[in-house]
Amino acid sequence: MKPWTRWQDWTNLVIGLYLALAPVWTTTDTGSASTLIVMGALVVCTALWSLAQPASGASQWTNVTWAVLLIIAPWAISYTGLSGAAWTSWIGGLLVACLALWALPATKNAAAGRTTPVRR
C-alpha cells in the first residue's frame, strides 16, 4: 500500500482535528477542554504516522489506545455532566477505534508486501 492513501487514516485525522477543536463550540470546563485538545492532537499525530507508514501496526494499535482513553475520559475526569463534551469524547473514541481496527488487515498486508488481501 502506498503511503498517504488509506481513507481510514485520513478519517481519523479529521476526527482528531474535530476533537481538538471541539472546545470552541462545545460547553466544556478546564478538564474536558484539556482532554479533548490533547487527545485530539494525539489522534492527529498517530493518524499522520499511520498515513506515512502504512505497514505500521503499532500506529493502529496506538490509535485504539487513544480511543479507549477517550471513551473512559468523561468518567475518569468527571465531565459526564457536560453532555456535549462527554458525547464528543464517547463518539469520537468509538469512531477512532472502529476505523483503526478496520485498517488493521490492510496494515498487515502492507507489512507482508501484499497489495491485495489474501483469500482463504
Pairwise CA distance, residues 111 & 59, whole Å:
12
pTM of the model: 0.91
Pairwise CA distance, residues 96 & 91, whole Å:
9
Placement of cell 468527571 in the chain = 78
The amino acid that residue 16 corresponds to is G
47 pLDDT tier (thresholds 50, 70, 90): very high
Pairwise CA distance, residues 63 & 23, whole Å:
21
Q: What is the pLDDT of residues 82-114, one digit of tens each?
A: 999 999 999 999 999 999 999 999 998 888 877
Q: What is the pLDDT of residues 22-36, one digit of tens each?
A: 999 999 999 999 999
